[in-house]
Structure 1
């Protein structure tokens, strides 16, 4: 039985409907929260473990991979759970609230890890912290994306909402990468400095989540469907059935594969940059923070242009353009080295942010079209499940990226440290860092571009299906 669809002025909870701007700002706050919390870990987590906790690069990468795999397989379960949930707040908001609490807790535990005097205990502790953090991330991202799809039946408005989400992601990225790097440049890369940064970012995550919950309380949403006996008795079978149905959606499947390449490349590119600026460029964390600040500004400034371009040449072509720009930017690090002019670093930061805006906007806007197309052609509401599958692929690709990076650095002789500063590294370790920041991300983007050549769904097809459903 499919669910009743609310209109733009009604909510399933019967409360006062949220205004358009409340929905847009609420849609901005969700990615702001999870991007801030996630980028702090993505940019500094691996380096903190190797250079402050003396955990080897291989072990640190394996821990990240384990947590990402756990988190990835939790995503479809959370998505399906939120699809079926029935609460006074609706299906999604309770998950957002829980995620806004769990993510800051994980940050505080990770970057506040005590000195155990045992590498094994330190590894177990940071694994627990990362599991809590990752659970919070899932609780924020899955329902957040599902709410975007539910909020409007207009593909153009969903693109606008995706732009607002991208603005939020950009601001969150700056708060989770630029701000921590600048703070550490002032306090020094001490454990106390890292904990202070974690507390600041954790407060941002919690505050943004609470504001989003408040603003989206009256947003258009749908009620959970009546569950069949099979779904009540055997949720695992119901989840597997949802996986099979989602995978049969060819546009979604194509986008998911391209997304795997995208996330693999960007995960390695972001994580390795913290190592490369310190070891390869021999620069302080101020440069790292400035790079991400410029990337964020470029992301924000260029967003309107990407919305225009995607409407002009199509989302698919705009997406491929953004992927190509990012690949070229990463390859350009092959020409850099110690004493690199700040002007060239700044140009790379700006172009990285510009391409990042296009990749995020187009990828998720295309995904929202594919999910909406599933609904209008099947009559089934599976937004949460699709969001869960999307992030499952994201997490698995990120897990593979961090595992590969950690193992590669370890194999090439990267030396860990407990001082907060990088140890003296061999030429082979320096080469490994350079390849992680340049060639590997670029190759991953080429893989995404080739995959997108097989994508066929366009906005006109989605609109035609919407019209056919209305007339039926």
Structure 2
């Protein structure tokens, strides 16, 4: 029975027995890998520009208080976080002529750029309350687009191969894409602001440029992935059409009962909390503490991204020798040390020292991303071994849920902390004069807080015991039964 979505006479995808399609060879393999790269490129570009500059734009260009801005981010992230499992379950059950995942990807490629344009193109309402409502709506649209891109994209990688080594390679391609997207979403906007100044027009320009990249990358990815291998769930037509979210509560329990996944999720929360607060704080840190322009911020992220890409081969090699868990813990430790080193920085910091930190941070970041998602893919396959069911989309939704909740906590905590320490907002695009307590809060958000979060992730990983060799043997047996 064929499941080729281009075959008009095929039984609709999602109605077959849950067999896994054979991986294509040759040029199709490269198209799948390249498509797997483009999806994280798109969502990383769209997400990083908001993570790095969104909070500062709200406080220094829209005159929204730091505490209110942080709470807006938190509310939107929480909304979007609880949307994640629903989208994951929906994509698991969706039946279209293009398959289960691709329509969601395309919708995300439209929504994310729209949210960017609305956020950074926010008009001057003459009212702080109206500005807060408007940016909340813009962030909700942007975050929904992020969900529509990340969950089906991750699910497609997990279901595309039963070989854990090939999944690691695909995760490496995703990490390359994430690195390029990070470069586009953090370095390019900062450089543009360095040229135009932190004006309203400059912010709208960067939103349009990044939005075009997000849409075009998504469009190309959909085309590249249209023939990618897929798994099919055991589900009836009536169940799909009646209520695609009916099993969501049951799936939440199943995800929590998956011990390897649960441990990795806890570590992931610490990881995302630390990296989100560090990225957001750096935009304030370089301007206020170091007295440097936005072009320095862009250069830092550029060097970090370059090293993330160059170091990926090293992390793939190391993960094959010492294991993904050990590499993950080592990358977390290195990232924490880099963040702590900012405590030694002073106004007018040398670009050499800034660059060294960028290189070390990028190398560690590549290892964290690669190993985190490679291990998570193993944990999702463990669910298949235990249950015989295909729930890649649901688990991808839960993974993104933890991402959103941790990012929400980070930005909310940072905003409230800055507000409590006396951070003064502005409507000029430039930072107002800040007191010593506010400066100290920025320094802690850039150094000690991310380092402690990495330590928390390392402690959580000590309890992770899933053996890759045993998983592979069990998975072969489950495939034979299917």
Q: Name the TM tier (shorter chain).
A: over 0.9
Counterpart of 1:4 in structure 2 is 18
Q: Displacement of 1:470 after TM fit? A: 4.1
Task: Decide which of 167, 178, 193 is 1:169's aligned counterpart.
Answer: 178
Q: Partners of 1:47 and 1:196 in 2: how far apart?
A: 17
Task: Decide which of 78, 81, 88 is 2:87's aligned counterpart.
Answer: 78
Does the 8 Å CA contact 2:269/2:402 hold for their aligned counterparts? yes
Q: Partners of 2:408 and 2:445 in 1: how far apart?
A: 15
Q: Partners of 1:174 and 1:207 in 2: how far apart?
A: 16
Does the 8 Å CA contact 1:91/1:223 hold for their aligned counterparts? no
Q: Displacement of 1:327 after TM fit? A: 0.3
What SS is found at the alignment partner of 2:247?
Answer: helix
Q: Partners of 1:49 and 1:293 in 2: how far apart?
A: 24
Deviation per CA, 1:180-211: give whole Å up to 9, x if none. Answer: 00010000000000000000000000000000
Corresponding pairs, count: 467
Task: Decide which of 20, 38, 63 is 1:29's aligned counterpart.
Answer: 38
Inter-CA distance 408–9: structure 2 relative to 1 (3 Å threshold): closer
Counterpart of 2:459 in structure 1 is 450
Q: Partners of 1:218 and 1:229 in 2: how far apart?
A: 26
Map 1:286-305 → 2, pairs under 5 A: 286-305=295-314
Does the 8 Å CA contact 1:275/1:433 hold for their aligned counterparts? yes
Counterpart of 1:406 in structure 2 is 415
Q: Displacement of 1:467 after TM fit? A: 2.5
Map 1:315-334 → 2, pairs under 5 A: 315-334=324-343
Task: Decide which of 463, 469, 472 is 2:472's aligned counterpart.
Answer: 463
What is the aligned-residue RMSD (CA, Å)? 1.6
Does the 8 Å CA contact 2:234/2:389 hold for their aligned counterparts? no
TM-score normalised according to structure 1 size: 0.96
Deviation per CA, 1:102-142: give whole Å up to 9, x if none. Answer: 00000000000000000000000000000000000000000
Counterpart of 2:11 in structure 1 is none
Map 1:198-347 → 2, pairs under 5 A: 198-227=207-236, 237-347=246-356
Inter-CA distance 9–309: structure 2 relative to 1 (3 Å threshold): closer
Q: Partners of 2:366 and 2:146 in 1: how far apart?
A: 21
Q: Displacement of 1:232 after TM fit? A: 6.2
Counterpart of 1:95 in structure 2 is 104
Q: Partners of 1:23 and 1:111 in 2: how far apart?
A: 33
Q: Partners of 1:86 and 1:337 in 2: how far apart?
A: 57
TM-score normalised according to structure 2 size: 0.94
Inter-CA distance 236–89: structure 2 relative to 1 (3 Å threshold): closer
Q: Partners of 1:235 and 1:203 in 2: how far apart?
A: 32
Q: Displacement of 1:235 after TM fit? A: 5.4
Q: Partners of 1:442 and 1:341 in 2: how far apart?
A: 23
Q: Partners of 1:411 and 1:43 in 2: how far apart?
A: 21
Aligned: 1:188 with 2:197: yes
Deviation per CA, 1:144-186: give whole Å up to 9, x if none. Answer: 0000011111000000000000000000000000000001000
Aligned: 1:365 with 2:374: yes
Q: Displacement of 1:238 after TM fit? A: 1.3
Does the 8 Å CA contact 2:37/2:174 hold for their aligned counterparts? yes
Q: Displacement of 1:222 after TM fit? A: 2.4
Counterpart of 2:59 in structure 1 is 50
Q: Displacement of 1:225 after TM fit? A: 3.2
What SS is found at the alignment partner of 1:19?
Answer: helix
Q: Displacement of 1:236 after TM fit? A: 5.3
Q: Partners of 1:151 and 1:236 in 2: how far apart?
A: 23
Aligned: 1:351 with 2:365: no
Inter-CA distance 215–234: structure 2 relative to 1 (3 Å threshold): closer
Which structure 1 segments of 5+ residues have no match? 11-15
Q: Partners of 2:359 and 2:146 in 1: how far apart?
A: 27
Which structure 2 segments of 5+ residues have no match? 1-14
Q: Displacement of 1:464 after TM fit? A: 1.3
What SS is found at the alignment partner of 1:70?
Answer: helix
Task: Decide which of 413, 424, 428 is 1:415's aligned counterpart.
Answer: 424
Q: Partners of 1:240 and 1:228 in 2: how far apart?
A: 20
Q: Partners of 2:239 and 2:170 in 1: how far apart?
A: 36
Q: Partners of 2:80 and 2:288 in 1: how far apart?
A: 31
Q: Partners of 2:19 and 2:222 in 1: how far apart?
A: 21
What SS is found at the alignment partner of 2:140?
Answer: helix
Q: Partners of 2:152 and 2:239 in 1: how far apart?
A: 24
